[in-house]
């Protein structure tokens, strides 16, 4: 039987789960203490029928095996030299996932700044940057349930976006059947959204409701 935590990540459309993750806090309890921030940008990947998914057409390898696990598990993989972090959603053997693309730092920002050797939005305005900012440099956490892992998402304490923007995903094959599917969601105006233009940033409220 699924726990209450796991139930958040299944039983409804992946795009709905993805939108509901905006404003939740991702945390990593690492060697340097706890770091974390609010999720501001995500992308949904819809499994074997999604041309942008690692499981497209039933592709299944040892590397992507975690994508077939329980809802709420971690799928941590490396692409173009960077580590990225998906949350597994839907029931076991249904390989759908949500990529965390952007995070607004909130816990131990100094440590994340040190991890990235960057300041400002460049700390975590992209999927590889986000994982590096947290201090994760390997696939050791791959396949673990977030509920009991050092890498987790706090579903109880969160902020509420004023508005959620929907667009096509970034960095996928645009020629693929689902290349332009509207499966990317972000907090409108938040400076830590990847590729956010300065003129579109809400520098006063970062796109959150008060």
CATH 3.10.300.10 fits 4-200, yes or no: yes
Position 121 pLDDT exceeds 90: yes
pLDDT for 111 beyond 90: yes
Share of residues in the chain with pLDDT > 70 (%): 100
pLDDT score for 173? 87
Span of 100-104, 105-109, 168-172 with lowest mean pLDDT:
168-172
More confident residue, 58 or 16: 16
For 175, list phi and psi in degrees, rounded to 5: -85, -15
Instruction: Provide the pLDDT for residue 144.
Output: 98
Cβ–Cβ under 8 Å, residues 185 and 191: no
pLDDT at 175 over 90: no
Distance of CA 3 to the CA centre of its chain: 21
Whole-model pTM: value is 0.96
- Looking at residue 40, what is its pLDDT? 98
109 pLDDT higher than 90: yes
| Average pLDDT of the segment spanning 7-17 | 98
Instruction: Provide the phi-psi class of 120: left if phi over 0, else alpha when psi is between -120 and 50, else beta.
Output: left
pLDDT band, residue 174 (cuts 50/70/90): confident
Q: Which residues, 6 or more positions from 210, have their beta carbon under 8 angstroms from its beta carbon?
A: none
pLDDT at 37 over 90: yes
Degrees, nearest 5: CA angle 178-196-180: 10
C-alpha span between 123 and 142 (Å, rounded)? 23
**Percentage of the chain exceeding pLDDT 90:** 93
The pLDDT of residue 210: 81
Helices (H) and strands (E) in the chain, counts: 4, 8
pLDDT at residue 154 is higher than 90: yes
H or E segment to which residue 96 belongs = strand 96-107
Contact (CB, 8 A) for 192 and 75: no
């Amino acid at each position: 039987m699924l726990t209450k935590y796991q139930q958040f990540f299944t039983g409804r459309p992946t795009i709905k789960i993805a939108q509901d993750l905006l404003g939740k806090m991702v945390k990593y309890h690492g060697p340097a203490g706890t770091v974390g921030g609010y999720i501001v940008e995500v992308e949904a990947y819809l499994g074997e029928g999604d041309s942008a998914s690692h499981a497209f057409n039933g592709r299944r390898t040892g590397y992507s095996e975690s994508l077939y696990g329980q809802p709420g598990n971690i799928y941590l993989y490396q692409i173009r030299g960077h580590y990225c972090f998906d949350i597994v959603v839907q029931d076991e053997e249904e390989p759908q996932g949500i990529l965390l693309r952007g995070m607004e730092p909130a816990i131990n920002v100094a440590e994340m700044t040190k991890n990235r050797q960057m300041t400002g939005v460049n700390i975590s305005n992209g999927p590889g940057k986000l994982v590096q900012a947290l201090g994760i440099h390997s696939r050791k956490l791959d396949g673990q349930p977030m509920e009991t892992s050092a890498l987790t998402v706090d579903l109880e304490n969160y902020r509420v976006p004023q508005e959620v923007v929907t667009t096509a995903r970034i960095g996928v094959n645009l020629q693929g059947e689902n290349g332009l599917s509207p499966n990317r969601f972000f907090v409108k105006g938040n400076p830590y959204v990847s590729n956010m233009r300065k003129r579109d940033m809400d520098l006063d409220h970062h796109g959150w409701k008060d």
